[in-house]
Amino acid sequence: MILHAHELDPQVPNPARMYDYFLGGYHNFEADRQAAEAAEAAFPGVRAAARANRDFLRRAVRFLAERGIGQFLDLGSGVPTAGNVHEIAQKADPGARVVYVDAEPVAVHASESLLAGAPGADILHADIRHVEAVLSAPQVASLLDLDRPLGLIMAAVLPYIPDADDPARLVRRYCAALSPGSYVVISHASFDDFEQAETDRVYDVYKATTSMFTSRRHERIAGWFDGLDLVDPGVVTVTEWRPEPGDTPVRLRLPHYGGVARIP
């Protein structure tokens, strides 16, 4: 089932495939590679932030799995790469179940190939702004039980939800559908503390892609956790969130904030 997903055009760079390129993947086209290199040249540190975000995601999923969370809804899951959510979750609990959701056809196709024959995990091709449609999709109905605690993941996806589509409301709508004891994981890059001259060129790169990037300040991202029980150390740069030996050693130039909270 496809719910208002993005069109595939290899000539137009796409942030999902640019991110795959930053992570060293091969599900990307020449236009994506050029745009990714242009973004890195315009603002050195974008690539490192992508890698650090992926490390944060792995740690956050492990953290939830260790607290007994055995089902996950990964919104804007991206092109599969090393350490996918179901691999991490099923290491802790072989019965863990995961539904991935993405709007980008290459990400969905790669996920379908990876997940063929993988028990307990599936991919939904959909735009996450269609909350009711996502939550009532057959993949969700067959794998997830919304009446039991679940891990909701929104890692590096909300920058692609413009203010006009109200990301705060989107977070609230998904959280409202979950049972108490569920967790939400959010990460989001922030260019706001830099001079406009420094960031204009990177915005120009993203303007030419399928999805514009919206930067948000720390306090705005932290506000999305209001009313939830924020896990220590709160909303911090992803490298500061419960770091572990073996993570990509980076000093983030581009602040990429991450946080995890429990739904009371």
Q: Which is nearer to ligand SAM, 95 or 150 (CB)?
A: 150
Considering only 31, 103, 140, 152, the residue that binds ligand SAM (CB under 6 A) is 103
Q: Which span sits near ligand SAM by CB under 6 A: 62-70, 98-106, 176-184, 236-244?
A: 98-106
Considering only 54, 86, 97, 216, the residue that binds ligand SAM (CB under 6 A) is 54
Q: Output the smallest distance, CB 243 to ligand SAM, in A.
A: 17
User: In whole angstroms, what is the distance from residue 52 CA to residue 246 CA?
Assistant: 11
Site for ligand SAM contains 214 (CB under 6 A):
no
Considering only 13, 15, 149, 255, the residue that binds ligand SAM (CB under 6 A) is 15
Q: Which is nearer to ligand SAM, 178 or 189 (CB)?
A: 189
Window 105-144: residues binding ligand SAM (CB under 6 A): 107, 127-129
Q: Which span sits near ligand SAM by CB under 6 A: 35-43, 75-83, 176-184, 229-237?
A: 75-83
Site for ligand SAM contains 102 (CB under 6 A):
yes
Q: Which is nearer to ligand SAM, 138 or 147 (CB)?
A: 138
The DSSP-derived string for the chain is -EESPPPP-TTS--HHHHHHHHTT-S---HHHHHHHHHHHHHSTTHHHHHHHHHHHHHHHHHHHHHTT--EEEEET--S--SS-HHHHHHHH-TT-EEEEEES-HHHHHHHHHHHTT-TTEEEEEE-TT-HHHHHTSHHHHHH--TTS--EEEEES-GGGS-GGG-HHHHHHHHHHTSPTT-EEEEEEE--TTS-HHHHHHHHHHHHTSSS------HHHHHHTTTTSEEPTT-SEEGGGSS--TTS-----SS-EEEEEEE--
Site for ligand SAM contains 13 (CB under 6 A):
no
Window 239-258: residues binding ligand SAM (CB under 6 A): none
Chain contacts with ligand SAM (rule: CB under 6 A): 15-16, 19, 53-54, 57, 76-78, 101-104, 107, 127-129, 155-157, 160, 211
